[in-house]
Amino acid sequence: MLIIGSGAAGNSLALQLPDDMSVALISKTELHEGSTYYAQGGISAVLSNIDSIDQHVEDTMEAGAGLCKPDVVESIAKESKVIIDWLLEQGVKFTKKNGSSSRDKLHLTQEGGHTYPRIVHAADKTGEAIQESLINKVKKKSNIKLFTHHVAIDLIVSKDKNTNNKKCIGAYVLNKKNNLIDIFQAKFVVLATGGANKVYLYTSNPDTSSGDGIAMAYRAGCDITNMEFMQFHPTCLFHQKAKSFLISESLRGEGGKLLLPNGNSFMHKYDSRGVLAPRDIVARAIDSEMKLHGLDYVLLDISHKKNQFIKQRFPTIYKRCLDFNIDITKDPIPVVPATHYTCGGINIDINAKTNIKNLYAIGEVAHSGLHGANRMASNSLLECIFFSKKVLEDIKNKRKESHSDISNYLDHNKNKNISEEVIIKHSWQEIRTLMWNYVGIVRTNERLLKAKIRVSIYKKEIEDCFNKNIISGDLIELRNLVCIAEIIIISALTRKESRGLHYNLDYPSTKIKGTDTVINIDTKNNIRLYQQK
């Protein structure tokens, strides 16, 4: 099996595969680097007596604004206790009440959209705790071969001459250590590459989130669904030297207040739930207030809580803010919205299967139907583990399949020029700035159409550069990034309403019945389908 991506989704799958199964695990940089590691909040699970599966489902469906798949939401909510138990078995040290080791004594906090406290966490660095535990286990398994500093270029897909059905049989992968391209052949290929939030100028995500898996799957012929729903986290630290540092939603869950610089609160004007409204509502409220008052940021204040509580509950945020001379026990935190999560992605079924045989997608790269038009906080890590188990179940009866022969070899880097890094960096910056200004939190048809024209020009230039020059990791990411930008823009233009994370001033109302936006590509590399269905 080939697993592309080493976050919670990829690592948890690798760990659960049988010991007699050969596994190649691809990581763009070091194993720990990725969105999982930086996830602060936690993982949602129904563990308290006051809570229920039905309530978790209802909260998730409401946050998803009519586009969640009920069967998927219910299945994942029901599995939440089992998933927490499995993570505890892997050695994840979640925060407990009074030092207890029992699952029943795990400390639960509350975040936006959740009716009750149901967020299991490890202080304010849950992702780091999960990632480190999984990596420690992965390194001990002899059947898993790790390939760090390798970046996938494209999937290798065969087509049946009689049925025209496609089957994934491997991938082209660049070894960034020596700039050589290898072919990885596999019976099963799993995309666990994370989201595409680096397509925007400001993001809470690390540099690895360039949408590689979605772009590769798109080029291979997968259905890509609901990419207009890019979640902006309401509260990222606003500071010139603070690169993409997230201020966890759990800080608001513990009593943090959103304020204007003059000290006035404002969330009550937008939603009765105030600071604990779903992320799309809070992000738009902050964006609206910033534009109304000409502000660069708003304030998030938890200084009214006791010093000891703040330092114990939010040690990472406390220390990081101190680096910028902000003492959160005394001072409010300047914050702004930034892209945080890709709610759309590669369309999968309940078994994580794509529309290409033997190709699976799990985690943020996938569109499973759990998040709908807006992801509820702390459901994403839950989704990662759930679908890794589904892949395991689905391949049990397929392991006896023979390998497909890969006789063609594409040497991308033979007899090519070395591309100038300045061109790549310039294109990168322009695309991300364009997406931020034209395809942001609030959209219009005029801005979207202008963005579409400009991105199409960039795409042709970058594809030409890719075909003529020696391939580098940066060039691969740039090629994927412009592909993602085009998909987002077309998806946004297709949706003739405002729903969840997509808000268009030209279509401010929400249709009664929600539909998905599906994008695909034909063999001539042109958009074939961009209609709601």
d(CA 343, CA 364): 7
Q: How many other C-beta atoms can be found within 10 angstroms of the C-beta atom of residue 291?
A: 11
Give the distance, in angstroms, between the CA of residue 321 and the centroid of all CA atoms in the same chain: 25
Our CA angle for 10, 15, 20, nearest 5°, is 120
In angstroms, the CA 275 to CA 328 distance is: 18
Which tokens is 317 given?
A: 């945020």
The DSSP symbol for 351 reads T
Which stretches of 178-262 are assigned E, i.e. beta strand? 180-185, 189-191, 224-225, 230-237, 257-259
In degrees and rounded to multiples of 5, residue 338 shows phi and psi of: -150, 150
Cα–chain-centroid distance for residue 422? 28
Pairwise CA distance, residues 131 & 31, whole Å: 9
The residue type at 143:
N
Query: DSSP character for 49?
Result: T
| CB 254 within 8 Å of CB 244 | no
Residue 48, both tokens: 């308290």
- Reduced to 3 DSSP states, what percent helix, strand and coil does the chain have, rounded to the nearest 5? 35, 20, 45
Q: How far apart are CA 57 and CA 390, in angstroms?
A: 20
Asked whether 514 and 458 are in contact (CB, 8 A), the reply is no
405 CB contacts (<8 Å, ≥6 apart)? Answer: none
- Beta strand pairing call for 417-418 and 180-185: unpaired
- Residue 465 vs residues 175, 375, 461, 462, 480: alpha-carbon distances, Å: 20, 36, 6, 5, 13
Helical packing angle, 53-63 and 70-89, nearest 10°:
120
Active site residue 279: yes
Structural contact between residues 92 and 130, judged by C-beta atoms closer than 8 angstroms? yes
* From 118, 252, 279, 313, the catalytic residue: 279
Query: Which residues are catalytic, by number?
Result: 279
